[in-house]
Structure 1
Amino acid sequence: MTSATDGSAPAVLDPEVARYLEYVRVEKRLAARTLTLYALDLDRLAQFAGQAGVPLLRLTSAHIRRFVAQMHSAGRSGRGIALILSGWRGFFTWAARQGLVPHNPVQDVRAPKAPKPLPKALPVDDAVRLADYEAPGDDPWIEARDAAIVELLYGCGLRVGELVGLDAQPSAEAQRQGRGWIDLDAGEAHVFGKGSKRRSVPVGTAALGAVRTWLEQRPQPFGGAGSARLDAALFVGRRGARLTAQSVWARLRQRGQVAGLTTPVHPHMLRHSFASHLLQSSGDLRAVQELLGHANITTTQVYTRLDFQHLAQVYDAAHPRAKRKPE
C-alpha cells in the first residue's frame, strides 16, 4: 500500500481494505469525503503494520496500543486518535464477520483522554470592576437589576439556573416547584441546584445592598408589588415575566463590554471567579465545595489548578530567582 501525502486517498490499497471500503460505500452510502478519510486512516494502519513487520490482519491489541502511543507522542490529539480508532474498529468488525480475523483487536483500545480545560475566571480587579460598574445614562431600573445579578453570581457563586429560579418572596409553592429565595434578614440565599438539591449560601454585604435596591425598584413599572403583571420571580424583564438564562447571558456580555473588560463575560465565568478567588484567599477546598453545591470534591479540585496558576504568575512576577537573566 502506498501512502498519500497530499490529503488524497492512497493510490494502492490492501485488497481487504479495498473490499471493506467498497462494502461501506455500497451498504452505508458514505460520502466521498468520508470514504477518503477512511482510506487514509486504514493506509496509516497498514504503514504501522509494515513497520512492525506484521500482516494487517494479524495485528493484536498490543500492536494497536503501540500505534496509539506513537501517534500521541507525535502530537496528535486524543480526539483525533479517537476518530482514527473508530475507523480501524469498523474495519476489523467487518473483517471478523468475514472470518478474516478471530477477534477485533481495536475493540477495547481507547484514545488518550484529552486534558480538561481550566475553567475561565476573571482576575479579581476585573470582577470587582464589573460589579461596581454603573453605566452612565442607563435606565436606573435595568441598572439596579443587573447590578444585583452580578453581585449574586460573583458574590454567591450561583449557577445561572439557580439565579433565575429565585423568587422575590419565599412561599410553599416556590419550594414545591424547586424555586429559591433570599432571606435578607439572615443574609442567606436558599437555592435549588442540580438534582433539585437545596443548599444555603451566605450573601455578602454588597450583594444584600444590591438586592435591596433592586427590590425597591422592581415593582415600579408595574404599578406596585401586587400587580398581576408582575411575576413572583426575583428577576423580571420589562414585561414583568421571569428573566430567562439567555437574557442574563446577553446582559452580562453587554455589561462586560461597556465596563471595558477584554474577556467576554458569561454567568458561569462569575461562578468560576467566585470559587477561584475564595480558594486563593482561604485555601479551604471543602468550604468551597459546599458553597458551590458540588456533590463530589473532585469537581471542586479543578480550582486548585487555577489557584496554582495564580501563584505561579505571582512567583514569576515577583521572585528574584524566577526572573530570567538577560542574554
Structure 2
Amino acid sequence: MSDFLLLGRFIRYLEIERNASSKTVEAYQCDIRQFLDFCCMEWEIRPVDLDYNRIDRLMIRLWLGSLMSSKAAKSTLARKSASVRSFLKFAYKRGQILHNPAHMLMNPKKEHRLPKTVRPDELGLMMETIETDSPSGKRDLAIMELLYSTGMRLSELVGLNTSDLDLNRKRVKVFGKGARERIIPFGDPASTALRNYLADRPQLTGSKTGEDDRNALFLTDSGKRVYPRLIQRKVSLYLSRVCEVSQKSPHVLRHSFATHLLDRGAGIRVIKELLGHADLAATQIYTGTSVEHLRNVYRTAHPRADTPDSE
C-alpha cells in the first residue's frame, strides 16, 4: 500500500463496518494523516514511498513527544494515540504489516475535569427570560427545554424530525453515535413548550423550505432545518443572561441534565441509557460532580463537618 491508500481503506472500514459518525471519521483521518506525515518527514520520503513496516513504537513515541512539545492537551494526545493504535491494529489484522508496533503501547492519561453545569434555579430563570411572542421565540424555548429535559446531544437535536416526537407519551426518539436509536422521556415544561412551538411552526416554512426541511422538527427563521452553530449561539445567548459558567454550550445542558438526575438519586446505569453512552465509564465522570455536591451539603448541614480551612 502506498500514498496513504491504506488510510483510505481504514476510513471506509470506519464508515461501513463500524458505522462511525462523520465527526469521528474526520477526527481519525486527521490524526492518522498527521502521524503518517510525521513519519515521512522524519524519514525524508514521499508518501508514495512510505513502508508501513518501518513504523515502530519509537516512531510513535517521537510523534507523541513532538505533540507534547507543542503544548497539546492531554485529552488531544490520548485521542490521537487511540486513532493511531486503531489504524495500526487494522493494518495488522488485514495483513498489511508484519507486526503491530502499537500493541501494548500505553495511552497518555487524560485530565479528568469535572463537567461544567448550571444550577436548576438558574436554568429555570433562563427559560423565563426567553420571549415567546413569536414563532422563533417559541422554537427557542422548545429547544432549550428539550435539551435540558432529555440531555440529548446537539447533533441528535439537529437531526430530529417531527415523526420522532410522541407528545402524547412525552417521549422522543433520537439516533445517537453509531446510529444507535434510543427513546428518551421528557417532562411537562418541555411538552408544553413543544406544543406551543408546533402550533406556530407552519409560520416558519417558506419558499426555501425543502423536503428534508419539512420533516425537520426545528426550523430556522428562513424555513430550513436548524444547524449546530445556530443552536450553539442560542444556548450561549440565553445562558449568559443567568449564569457565569465559563462554558456556555449545548453540552453544558447535557452535563446539567445528568448531574441533576444523579444528585436526586437516579442510578448511574439509568443515566447511561438516557445519555446514550455505549460504555458506563463515560457516564461515571458525573459521579465526581455529585460527590462535590454532597460534600458541600455535608459541610453546610452537619455541625461537626470539617471546614474548608481545615483541609
TM-score by length of 1: 0.59
Q: Is the 8 A contact 1:229 1:240 kept in 2?
A: no
Q: 1:208 aligns with which of 191, 198, 221?
A: 191
Following the alignment from structure 1 to structure 2, what is the Cα–Cα distance between the partners of residues 185 and 277?
25
* Alpha-carbon RMSD: 3.7
Partner of 2:269: 286
Bigger Cα Rg: 1
Stretch deviating more after TM superposition (282-291 or 194-203): 282-291
For 1:190, what is the secondary structure of its paired residue? strand
Preserved CA contact (<8 Å) 1:78 1:112: no
Is 2:246 the partner of 1:260? Answer: no
Partner of 1:307: 290
CA offset at residue 142 of structure 1? 1.9
Q: Which residue of 2 aligns with 1:35?
A: none
Is residue 274 of structure 1 aligned with residue 268 of structure 2? no
**Quick one: which of 121, 124, 129 aligns to 1:125?**
121
Distance between the aligned counterparts of 2:107 and 2:226, measured in 1?
A: 42
For 1:322, the equivalent position in structure 2 comes to 306
Report which stretch shifted further, 316-325 or 197-206: 316-325
Shift of 1:124: 1.9
Could you say which residue in structure 2 is the equivalent of 1:59?
Answer: none
**For the Cα contact (< 8 Å) 1:78–1:113, is it kept in 2?**
no
State how 1:59-138 maps to structure 2 within 5 Å: 79=74, 113-135=109-131
Separation of aligned partners in 1, 2:272 and 2:228: 23
User: How many Å separate the matches in 1 of 2:178 and 2:266?
Assistant: 27
Question: Judging changes above 3 Å, is the alpha-carbon distance between structure 1 residues 27 and 133 closer, same or farther for their aligned structure 2 residues?
Answer: same
Higher relative contact order, chain-length normalized (CA < 8 Å, sep 6+)? 2
Per mean C-alpha deviation after superposition, the further-off stretch among 290-299 and 120-129 is: 120-129
The answer to whether the 8 Å contact 1:191/1:198 transfers is yes
User: Is the CA contact (8 Å cut-off) linking 1:289 and 1:300 kept in structure 2?
Assistant: yes
Q: 1:314 to 1:108 in 2, by over 3 A?
A: same
Give the total of aligned pairs.
Answer: 220
| Alignment partners' CA distance in 2, 1:128 and 1:146 | 14
Q: Which residues in structure 2 correspond to 1:142-291 (within 5 Å)?
A: 142-168=136-162, 170=163, 181-222=164-205, 231-257=214-240, 259-263=241-245, 264-291=247-274
Unaligned runs of 5+ in 1: 1-24, 29-76, 83-106, 171-180
Q: Structure 1 residue 140 and structure 2 residue 102: aligned?
A: no
The Cα shift of 1:324 comes to 6.0
Distance 1:229-1:222 versus aligned 2 partners, 3 A rule:
farther
Q: Which structure 2 segments of 5+ residues have no match?
A: 1-40, 45-71, 78-102
